[in-house]
Amino acid sequence: MPGEAAKLLQPHQVMVSCSKGISLASLETVEELLEGLVPPQFRSRLAYLSGPSFAAEVAAGQPTAVTVAAKDDQLAARVQALLSNPRFRCYRSTDVVGVEIAGALKNVLAIACGISDGLGFGNNARAALITRGLYEITKLAVARGANPLTMSGLAGMGDLVLTCTGDLSRNRTVGLRLGRGERLTDIQASMGGAVAEGVPTAVAIRTLSRKLGVECPIMEGIHRVIHEGANAQKVVTEVMSRELKPEVAPDIIKGVIVNGSSTNLLEVLAAAGPPHTPAVAEAPPLPPPPPALEMVALKEAAATAVESTKSILVEGGSSGERAEGRERAEVAMRPATVAVMAAGAGAVLGAAVVLIVSRWRRV
Ligand X SMILES: NC(=O)c1ccc[n+]([C@@H]2O[C@H](COP(=O)([O-])OP(=O)(O)OC[C@H]3O[C@@H](n4cnc5c(N)ncnc54)[C@H](O)[C@@H]3O)[C@@H](O)[C@H]2O)c1
CA distances from 62 to 48, 57, 65, 274, 317 (A): 21, 5, 10, 34, 70
Under the binding rule (CB under 6 A), the answer on residue 177 touching ligand G3P is no
List the single partner that 88 binds among ligand G3P, ligand X, none, CB under 5 to 8 Å by kind: none
Residues 6+ apart with CB under 8 A from 265: 142, 148, 252, 253, 254, 255, 256
Q: Out of 170, 177, 206, 223, name the contact with ligand G3P by CB under 6 A.
A: 170
Q: Tell the smallest beta-carbon distance from residue 171 to ligand G3P (Å).
A: 4
Binding string, residues 54-73; x marks residues near ligand X by CB under 6 A: xx------------------
Dihedrals phi, psi of 70, to nearest 5 degrees: -155, 150
Sorted by sequence, the CB contacts under 8 Å of residue 313 that are 6+ apart come out as none
Q: Please, which residues have CB within 8 angstroms of residue 63's CB and are 6 or more apart in sequence?
A: 87, 89
- The contact mask relative to ligand X for 1-40 (x = CB under 6 A, - = no) is -----------------xxxx-------------------
d(CA 127, CA 201): 22
Strands 46-50 and 64-69: antiparallel
* Helix (H/G/I), strand (E/B), else coil: 1: coil
Task: Provide the minimum distance between the beta carbon of 161 and ligand G3P in the complex, in angstroms, as a whole number.
Answer: 10
Contact with ligand G3P (CB under 6 A) among 17, 116, 171, 308 = 171
- Segment 223 to 262, residues that bind ligand X, using CB under 6 A: none
Provide the minimum distance between the beta carbon of 202 and ligand X in the complex, in angstroms, as a whole number: 15
Work out how close the CB of 111 gets to ligand G3P at its nearest, in angstroms, rounded to a whole number: 9
Cα–Cα dist 199/186, whole Å: 14
In the structure, how many helices (H) and strands (E) does the chain have? 16, 6
**Are the C-beta atoms of 57 and 168 separated by less than 8 Å?**
yes
Site for ligand G3P in 200-259 (CB under 6 A): none
Residues in region 106-125 near ligand G3P by CB under 6 A: 107, 110
- By beta-carbon proximity to ligand X, the closer residue of 195 and 203 is 195
CA distances to 90, 298, 310, 343 from 329, in Å: 64, 13, 10, 21
162 C-beta neighbours (distance < 10 Å), count: 21
List Cα–Cα distances, 266 to 131, 255, 260, 270, in angstroms.
21, 8, 18, 6
Q: Contact with ligand G3P (CB under 6 A): which of 32, 54, 91, 354?
A: 54
Size, binding site for ligand X by CB under 6 A? 11
Q: Which amino acid is at 214?
A: V
Residue 136 binding target from ligand X, ligand G3P, none, CB below 5 to 8 Å by type: none
| Contact of residue 111 among ligand G3P, ligand X, none (CB under 5-8 Å per partner type) | none
**Of the candidate residues 6, 65, 83, 195, the single one contacting ligand X (CB under 6 A):** 195
Choices 155-163, 222-230, 264-272, 332-340; region in contact with ligand G3P by CB under 6 A: 155-163
As annotated, the active-site residues are 106
List interacting residues with ligand X (CB under 6 A).
18-21, 53-55, 193-195, 197
List interacting residues with ligand G3P (CB under 6 A).
20, 52-54, 107, 110, 159, 162-163, 169-171, 197
